[in-house]
Amino acid sequence: MNVLLAILFIAFPALLVYLCYRFDAFRKIGTVLLCYIAGMVVGNVGILPAGFAPVQTAMADMSVALALPLLLFSLDVRKWFRIAGKGMLCMLLATLSIIAVTFALQLALRAGTPDAWQLSGLAVGVYTGGTPNLAAIKSALGIDSDTYILFHTYDTVISLFYIFLMSSVARPFFVRYMRLRPYLAPDGAPTADAEGDDAESIGAYAGMWKPAVLKGLGAAILLSAAIVGASAFLGGLLPPTAGTAVTILSITTLGIAASFVRPVRRVQKTFQAGMYVIYVFCFVVASMTRLDSLIHVDFAILGYVAASIFGSLLLHAFLCRVAKIDADTFIVTSVSAICSPPFVPVVAAALKNKAVLITGLTTGIVGYAIGNYLGISIAYIFKGLPF
């Protein structure tokens, strides 16, 4: 029975991907949120057997580990560092901003919120990278599923409001504030390749069932499994308190290293395969959560998320003004850091500035690569503070 349920858990997100691919209404909600909603329904209607909990835990841990290399295989690190320009400086300032804000929150909440250091890891990871980093840091820091779901739920709601602001009233304000005319590419100037623009859209899943694509993906999945195995071995050599973190960081490092191998980097649809595994993770974790824990608002976590997003936004804007970075570069880099690359084309279109599209995509993917390192490192640094 448990084996059959595990297979159904793995297969169910495929239905949600199909619905998002076929229908605009589902696509506007988003696959990740649909996975969480569906998972919470499945986990709270009483259909799961009592002995299924260990299987859920194992699936959640393994899915994150397997997804990370697949997400990183398609990186072209050298190309991105060549073309990023001021975007990389802007991304650095965004990173410093979220670290500074979480440090202030750690000092403010340390006495009354013992797990504030864990929240700092989640915030730094997700507001430099994205959901995959959030999931990995959840595992590395041993954060319970209820806290993770609450953090991600509040992040989703507040981020939607943030995106609305950045796509509408933010530009006129920040153009005046930055005092620097946004850079506009001449007509016909290249901004990003077609594959890069569509890499995270739901339409990118089309063609995954072609025999040639499946053959390459099969090899990539085996390589990913080998990386996970090697990393788990390294983590197993250390005490349990450090072993999980070392395993996650090792997986990230080996995944980036593999991206420098051209045949690995050229395997089609590895990013989409990795995101699908993340969808499985979201569905599984949501199924482990009890809805009665979500009835009452946790104002500590809600306030932490809101302060992290808007506090880092304001500090980032100030630093970009000092560094003389234009408003459009600031806006698109902020969006790629706080909400991840899928939202970059939306905001770039609202800005009517195609020149910043590649900057947003580039810095967002770099954020995926560094998010695990930063989130885990900052969390442990804050945990060890003597004050």
User: In this structure, what token pair is assigned to residue 351?
Assistant: 């800005």
pLDDT of residue 292: 64
| SS3 label, residue 286 | helix
Q: CA 256, CA 38: separation in Å to the nearest integer?
A: 32
Q: With the C-alpha atoms ordered 242, 243, 248, 249, is the resulting torsion angle positive or negative?
A: positive
CA 274 to chain centre: 12
Answer with the residue of higher pLDDT: 282 or 325: 325
- 248-267 tens-digit pLDDT: 878 888 988 998 898 998 89
Q: CA 371, CA 136: separation in Å to the nearest integer?
A: 9
Nearest to 253 by CA among 99, 72, 130, 114: 72
pLDDT at 178 over 60: yes
Nearest to 243 by CA among 369, 132, 120, 140: 140
Mean pLDDT of 11-18: 92
pLDDT at 379 over 90: yes
User: In this structure, what token pair is assigned to residue 297?
Assistant: 């608002």
Lowest mean per-residue pLDDT among 10-14, 70-74, 133-137, 200-204: 200-204
Amino acid residing at 48: L
- 36-70 tens-digit pLDDT: 889 889 988 888 888 898 999 899 888 878 988 89
Lowest mean per-residue pLDDT among 6-20, 85-99, 346-360: 346-360
Of the chain, the percentage scoring pLDDT greater than 90 comes to 31
Q: What domains appear along the chain, each with residue ranges and CATH number?
A: 2-383 (1.20.1530)
pLDDT of residue 201: 64
Answer with the residue of higher pLDDT: 198 or 210: 210
Chain-wide mean pLDDT for the chain? 84
- 270-323 tens-digit pLDDT: 988 988 988 898 898 888 877 665 667 888 899 999 999 999 999 999 999 999
Q: What secondary structure does DSSP assign to 108-172, as a single string?
A: HHTTT-TTHHHHHHHHHHHTTS-HHHHHHHHHHHT--HHHHHHHHHHHHHHHHHHHHHHHTTHHH
Contacts of 382 (CB under 8 A, 6+ apart): 102, 103, 106, 116, 117, 120
User: In this structure, what token pair is assigned to residue 164?
Assistant: 């609305």
| Residue 57 burial by Cβ neighbours in a 10 Å radius (0-12, 13-18, 19+) | middle
Mean pLDDT of 29-37: 82
Mean pLDDT of 76-102: 82
Q: CA 287, CA 59: separation in Å to the nearest integer?
A: 12
Find the Cα–Cα–Cα–Cα dihedral 269, 273, 275, 279, rounded to 10°.
Answer: 150
pLDDT of residue 192: 38
The pLDDT-based confidence of 181 (bands split at 50, 70, 90) is low
Residues in the chain: 387
pLDDT of residue 333: 92
Question: Averaging pLDDT over each range in 20-24, 124-128, 139-143, 156-160, which range is the top one?
Answer: 124-128
